[in-house]
Amino acid sequence: MNREILYEPFEVVYKKLDECPKVEYRHLFFELVYVLSGTGKQCINNNKFSYHADHMFLITPEDCHSFEIETTTEFFFLRFGNVYIRSKDFHTDDVKRLEYILNNASHQPGCILNNFSDKPLVRSLIEAMMIEYVNRDLYNKELIVKLVDTLIVIVARNIAKYMPAAVKEGTEEKALELLNYIQANIYNPEKLRAESLSNQFAISGHYFGKYFKKHTNETLQQYIANLRIRLVEARLRFSDLRITEIANELGFTDESHLNKFFKSQKGISPKAFRDAMNG
């Protein structure tokens, strides 16, 4: 598996491809992928999603991904890292919240443009960026930066519409760092115990449960369960992984443990859920 590194604050790339290399990639940065034309499948963390023109995907750091191209596809790539979001070039009053929103898309397949009215706006922004890169006109660098910033904020808005209610305006910085940490370590249950988290973030063990609920309106167990159930659902819907393989990947003791957890959350077994989704 190849790893890619970004050497600039952000990078814009256009590619027209008839086929993609078979090798899968992991990034140390965010990558927005917009499909200008063509059809195929997006593969992310063993999940597959059929794409066509005007679909946009967000690949987050450490996601494993590739594409299977069915018809000649034009891709627009915008690559950027946390360094750019935190820089003075990126103007936002709530950097931590934006970082959390972007990271929360991790592990999820499918188009991220959930707000229908944003779709034509996104395409016009991308076409404007491509024109500026080709023409290299006066102030083109400054204009491209503004277009990049606008696109990232629109993407964050679309993700935020369908994410857990935990992230609200005014959520304090430590709480956002805590949620980021949980998101990043969702495959490592031993790191997500209340005692471990309270030590990691210097929050009193006696106060930790109250602190977490104050900032998320959920208990720690509810929040982690909701996050894990979304990952299980994605695997069941978009991958060919066996139930036992999903259990191993997501840190369950065994298939029986996953079955019991899933049924307690959804009222049906993982197999019944997969059959219903694919029926």
8 shares its domain with 137: yes
Residues with Cβ within 8 Å of residue 244, at least 6 apart in sequence: 254, 255
Q: What whole-number distance in Å separates Cα of residue 267 and Cα of residue 95?
A: 38
123 shares its domain with 83: yes
Contact 100, 180 (CB under 8 A): yes
Task: Round to the nearest angstrom and report the end-to-end CA distance of the chain.
Answer: 34
For residue 167, being part of any structural domain is answered with no
78 shares its domain with 183: no
**What pLDDT is stored for residue 120 in this prediction?**
92
Domain of 177 in residue numbering reads as 173-278
Instruction: Please say which residue of 107, 128, 160 terminates a domain.
Output: 160
The closest alpha carbon to 75, from 38, 22, 120, belongs to 38
Contact 158, 118 (CB under 8 A): yes
153 shares its domain with 274: no
**What pLDDT is stored for residue 168 in this prediction?**
52
**Amino acid occupying residue 5:** I
Instruction: Please say which residue of 160, 183, 209 terminates a domain.
Output: 160
251 shares its domain with 119: no
Domain at 247, CATH number: 1.10.10.60
In the chain, how many H helices and how many E strands? 11, 7
Structure tokens at 154: 């629109």
**Amino acid occupying residue 264:** S
Q: What whole-number distance in Å separates Cα of residue 75 and Cα of residue 135?
A: 19
**What pLDDT is stored for residue 172 in this prediction?**
67
**What pLDDT is stored for residue 28 in this prediction?**
76
**What pLDDT is stored for residue 105 in this prediction?**
63
105 shares its domain with 180: no
**What pLDDT is stored for residue 244 in this prediction?**
93
**What pLDDT is stored for residue 90 in this prediction?**
63
Instruction: Please say which residue of 137, 160, 183 terminates a domain.
Output: 160
Count of structural domains, the chain: 2
154 shares its domain with 234: no
- Dihedral sign computed on CA atoms, order 213, 219, 220, 223: negative
For residue 168, being part of any structural domain is answered with no
Contact 250, 47 (CB under 8 A): no
**Amino acid occupying residue 220:** L
pLDDT by 10s per residue, the chain, length 279? 556 667 678 889 999 999 876 666 677 788 999 999 999 998 887 778 889 999 999 888 778 888 899 999 999 999 988 777 777 666 555 566 676 667 666 555 678 887 788 889 999 999 999 998 888 777 888 888 889 989 988 888 887 765 555 555 455 677 877 887 887 788 788 899 999 999 999 999 899 999 998 888 889 999 898 888 888 887 887 677 889 998 988 888 899 999 999 999 999 999 999 988 776
